[in-house]
Structure 1
Amino acid sequence: MSVDTGAKLIPCLRYRDAPAAIDWLCKTFGFERHLVVPDEGGGIAHAQLLFGKGKNMLMLGSAVESEFGRLMRQPDQVGGCTQSLYVLVDDADALYARAKAGGAWIVIDIKDEDYGGRGFSCHDPEGHLWSFGSYNPYTDEECDKA
């Protein structure tokens, strides 16, 4: 049975230690395991993590040599990140405290933004860049005009 959540965009990441990344993402950022498929080498062939009310998904797997894996690079292989993920949260301060306690490398401290909302940016243990904030572009008046 197919369920239409309204979500049409699902970010995908690769981790060298995907099992540890899943544990960290769940404990620190509040993701929940939806589906985790181990591979035969102790890594993760495919995982789906949910955030919030179950409509927001992140897919991830182990960084392995495969058809898809050859297309991906880890942040340390390119000298930083080529993309970031923005996660809309109700309480940026609470998530900021969890991120700091979980060992996230805070790269932009929590602050009120000129364009609205409150947020911060950090790296996870493998260097992926995450931004969390209360700014909701879907409620922006300019978005409503489009």
Structure 2
Amino acid sequence: MVKLVYCVTKKAGLTDEEFFRYWEKTHGPIGARIPGLRKLVQSHRLTVSGDKHRPDYDGMAELWFDDVEALLAARQSPEWKSSTEDEANFIDHSKVAYFVSDERTILHDSQTSKEQKTSIAPMLSVRNGARAVEFYKAAFGARELFRIGDEGRGVVAQLAVGKSEFWVADESPEHLNFSPESLGGGTVRMVMVVDDPDAAFERAVAAGASVVRPVEDQPYGWRVGRILDPFGHHWEIGKPLGEGG
């Protein structure tokens, strides 16, 4: 991922409180609507007791995108234009600095923590791992984190959708790993929680999934639909009602 870093200074006439409140509460939701934006972080300047140095900037914004192409596409959007126009209400544009960065983590708290990280990720057995990987990329926007093998001798791949990870592997009957196509059905069901179930559902169907149940509001408090992917795995796509409208 790449991020666009903005160093900003408040507009003349605004107090610190007015500047930071507008930036977070009013401008923040406007910027969050930019298409392709994966993460938006604001860093607000703190006044440290005893520090006589006045920093050149009052804060920093970080806008995260999948890659440079996604950033460039976002800059052409109406949402980007709206965000830029709103900046005139609280930012001094004559004192803005920005750059695009590729982050390098030198130290992470997991390296200093004594607590061992534990995670669980499903592994989906399929008949054609290479095709399955491409389907999950197209259907869910999955990113490929790790891969071994090829179409001729089988594939094992680690994929991620957002912050959630799962594995895909060609079935291996000799190791008692069978695909739903071999078994005549699956034994598990994947559940994907997203902000816009309708759009995610339509994307999966357009990529080749079959509709099992359309996206609908359910009496148990979810808006959810169910698809069957081309490799026999069932996916429920939805979110709790009341989240994000």
TM-score band (shorter)? 0.7 to 0.9
Distance 1:28 1:40, change over 3 A: closer
Please name the residue that 1:126 is paired with.
Answer: 231
Aligned-residue offset at 1:39: 5.0
Please name the residue that 1:13 is paired with.
Answer: 124
| Counterpart check, 1:64 vs 2:172 | yes
- Which structure has the higher relative contact order (CA within 8 Å, separation 6+)? 1
Unaligned runs of 5+ in 2: 1-107
| Counterpart check, 1:43 vs 2:151 | no
Q: Which runs of 4+ in 1 moved over 4 A?
A: 1-4
Deviations 1:87-132 (A, max 9, x none): 1111101111101211211101110121223111111111111111
* Larger-Rg structure: 2
Q: After the TM superposition, which residues 1-146 of structure 1 pair with which residues of structure 2 at under 5 Å, given as runs?
A: 8-38=119-149, 41-44=152-155, 46-52=156-162, 55-67=163-175, 70=176, 72-135=177-240
Distance 1:18 1:106, change over 3 A: same
For the 8 Å contact 1:34–1:47, the answer to whether it is kept is yes
Aligned-residue offset at 1:31: 1.0
How many Å separate the matches in 1 of 2:141 and 2:236? Answer: 14
What TM-score does the superposition give when structure 1 sets the normalisation length?
A: 0.77
For the 8 Å contact 2:132–2:168, the answer to whether it is kept is no
For the 8 Å contact 2:138–2:204, the answer to whether it is kept is no
> Aligned partner of 1:107: which letter?
V
How many Å separate the matches in 2 of 1:81 and 1:106? Answer: 16
For the 8 Å contact 1:104–1:125, the answer to whether it is kept is yes
Aligned-residue offset at 1:63: 1.2
Aligned positions, number: 130
How many Å separate the matches in 1 of 2:151 and 2:180? Answer: 25
For the 8 Å contact 2:172–2:178, the answer to whether it is kept is no
What secondary structure sits across from 1:38 in the alignment? strand
For the 8 Å contact 2:126–2:178, the answer to whether it is kept is no
Deviations 1:45-84 (A, max 9, x none): x2100011xx3111111112443xx1x3322333322111
Distance 1:73 1:43, change over 3 A: closer
